[in-house]
Amino acid sequence: MSDETPPADPTVRRTHRRTVWTTILASQLVVALLTSTVVVLAFRGLNDNIAEGKEIEHRVEEVLPEGVSADAPDKPLNILVMGSDSRVGEGNEIDGENSDGTQRSDTVILLHVSQDRTNAYGVSLPRDAIIDRPDCRVDGEDLAGEEGVRFNTAFEVGGPVCTVQTVEELTGIRINHFLVLDFAGFKDMVDAVNGVEVCIPKAVDDAEHDIYFDAGTQTLSGQQALNYVRERSQLSVTGDIGRMKRQQAFIASMIKKVRSAGTLSQPSKVIDFLDAVTSSIQTDDGLDSVGKLVDLAMEVRTTGLDDIKFITVPVEPDPENPLVTLVWSASADALWERIQQDQKLGKDFSAGSIEADDEVGTDDPTDDPSTGTGGGGNGGSSEERAAERAAAGLCA
């Protein structure tokens, strides 16, 4: 017999183990709602925090995988999660940039959840990748597209709706929902759970951006966390690609922190976290209330943390400017096809992925990466995974 004392309520125990994190926003919200009576009582106040959502004017028809009918009760879900780099608003004035009111997508993740809800994966889309941006239609206004521009210009000219339409046009994937979080909301979420643990392989002394870190495993507060996920001059030799992998690892660590007993058993932490989330998100009109977010998360409640992976869209040097910019590679088409057909990533795409239940890594340089003790995704040898993590500024 195990010496471990089981939770008093087996139902709560199962809920904690199997609740999915569809996104770092909606799913965290619902886990807390299902485990805290206090939060349920605060439902109306939280609901008032969420602004009215925008309608998505889709650019592609829905493509369902073989055997799934249009009237099926459960279908695959595709959710576009975006981080805005706007400096407008309290808590967003971090470096004097974009103070004129312009904003771009600092982070974009296309999250796919399978029809049977047994697996999910998020695909990071580099903000600086060069694309041919299609025309958009936002709030009844037609916005002209442009060739050979950075991906995040879609958010600048037309916000999340234009970004959704751009992704639909470029991938052929119909986006069911979108969520946007700004800098202030990100910081407040981290502070609401008393920080998130990371492992930094080397000290950072970035005077230009006023970012400083010691090496090793540590818990970051909100502003520190924002500095960590945005830093790209010293931690990541691969620049923006490495930064995205650090963002993925941070999301995974935050998921575990929010789902931990130390967070969910404390109503004050739960309410602070939910207030940070609902006060800071923009959504489509299908997710613009707490009730709608609850409905979404209830659909995917059976997915476990170990079933969620994060990858980056395949990229290659831009033929027009190979030393400076990147483009999506031709192999990305096969990834979009897998999402459309609701297929798992497979080894060819999951190599080097970061999983939601990965450890943050080890700050001991004497550890042998061949043992795989540091976590760090699937595919390839342990040495290759360790090298990839090091290039991204993650401990092996």
Over residues 313-369, the pLDDT tens digits come to 999 999 999 988 999 999 999 999 999 999 999 888 988 788 877 878 655 443 433
Position 366 scores a pLDDT of: 39
Query: Residue 50 maps to which CATH number?
Result: 3.40.630.190
Question: Which segments of the chain have a pLDDT < 70?
Answer: 1-44, 86-104, 237-238, 301, 361-381
Entry field: residues in the chain: 396
**Is 144 among the domain residues?**
yes
- Is residue 396 included in any domain, yes or no? no
Q: Which residues of 297-309 are buried (b: 16+ CB within 10 A; e: fewer)?
A: bebbbebbbebbb
pLDDT at 40: 53
Residue with tokens 């349920």: 40
Dihedral angle, C-alpha 8, 28, 225, 288, nearest 10 ° = -150
Task: Please state, in angstroms and rounded to a whole number, the distance separating the CA atoms of residues 80 and 61.
Answer: 17
Number of domains in the chain: 1
Q: Does residue 38 lie within any of the structural domains?
A: yes
Does residue 12 lie within any of the structural domains?
no
Residue 167 CB contacts under 8 Å (≥ 6 apart), including other chains: 80, 108, 110, 125, 173, 175
Give the structural domain span for 212: 23-391
SS3 158: helix
Residue-level pLDDT at 326: 93
First-last CA distance in the chain = 35
Residues 268 and 39: their CA atoms lie apart, in Å, by 9
Give me the pLDDT at residue 377, please: 44
pLDDT at 106: 80
Query: What pLDDT, on a 0 to 100 scale, did the predictor assign at position 27?
Result: 45
* Bridging pattern class, strands 354-355 and 308-312: antiparallel
4 located within any domain:
no
pTM comes to: 0.81
In a domain, 40, yes or no: yes
Residue 331 lies in a domain: yes
Q: Please report whether residue 162 resides in a domain.
A: yes
Residues 322-335 have pLDDT tens digits of 988 999 999 999 99
